Amino acid sequence: MASRNVERIRVAIREGLVEKAVRSLALRAYQALLAASPVDTGFFRAGWTASVGAPDRAGPELPATPSDRDTTVAQASGLLATRQGQAAAVAGGYKVGQGPAFIVNNVRYGVYLNEGSSAQAPARFVELAILEAVAATKRDLR
């Protein structure tokens, strides 16, 4: 039984099915996390980063405590556009040999948002977004 499963995995890798699944899931998860993220200045939403091989621990390039709201909103919008491009590149170019795909958000208050501190998003919105992306990817791959 185990050797049969191993062979099925080898075939899936050889035929590119694993790469297709990871590409689809990574892009869907990223999009679902953006859509689920509560937005005030856009700083938290712009904090989502996609990477391959290791999680991106650099964090957002915006100040942790914005001094000027309008500037922060504009900077967050620009950063979000950049990060969306990176996520599309990660998803589009993923190869199994690169290692796992990651989506992280290093904004310090993100934990509190996910615990329900924002009226804009339910508690555990991160987990709900991931579950939604997994379900949609499973449906598409059938």
Count of alpha carbons within 13 angstroms of residue 40, beta-carbon side: 11
Domain coordinates in residue numbering, the chain = 2-141
54-82 per-position pLDDT tens digit: 999 876 665 555 578 888 888 888 889 99
Is there a contact between 135 and 59 (Cβ–Cβ < 8 Å)? no
> Which residue type occupies 115?
E
> Which residue type occupies 6?
V
pTM of the model: 0.85
Q: Among residues 113, 96, 123, which one has the least CA distance to residue 13?
A: 96
Q: What is the pLDDT along the chain (142 residues), one digit of tens a residue?
A: 578 877 777 777 777 788 889 999 999 999 999 999 999 989 899 999 999 999 998 766 655 555 788 888 888 888 899 999 999 998 899 998 999 999 999 998 999 999 999 999 999 999 999 999 999 999 998 8
